Amino acid sequence: MSKLKRIILTIAASLGLLAPAAMPATVFAQPSIQEGLCQGAELMVGATCQQVSDADAAGGVNEVIETVINIFSIVVGVIAVIMIIVGGLKYITSGGDSGNITGAKNTILYAIVGLVVVALAQIIVRFVLTETGDLGSGSSGGGTGGI
């Protein structure tokens, strides 16, 4: 069983090392010098210059964070499914031994708890990114409205 754990850890580590390669190249693309010199803080887009806003910059950071969280969630999801299968195999091959049955049930339970935690993390991160994106664009609902 330790050989199987070593294989799973090796796969997880290699996926972690390959995660940056899955990032879209446009996120890290640098503008050329000509594009960067379009009147100071402006960025040349086609034949016109447009002011780069804070909301555009926050949108780029939000996209990077969403991509990293999505890749992390996929990796954890795959590992959790593998652990559920391993727990099922341990349960089937327990031979009626109560200690092995308890270990198998715990493996399955912890894998399911891991899936729930990843799902909740996705929801929380998307909520935070949506709220901070709204603050950057100036459309937050926290104003001083008169009654």
pLDDT tens-digit map of 103-125? 999 999 999 999 999 899 889 98
Tokens in use for 10? 């090796």
Non-local (6+) Cβ contacts of 125 within 8 A are 65, 66, 69
Burial class of residue 111 in the structure, from the number of CB atoms within 10 Å of its CB (0-12 exposed, 13-18 middle, 19+ buried): buried
Q: Note the pTM of the prediction, 2 decimals.
A: 0.51
Residues of the chain whose pLDDT is less than 50? Answer: 27, 39, 41-44, 47, 54, 138-143, 145-147
SS3 of residue 42 by DSSP: strand
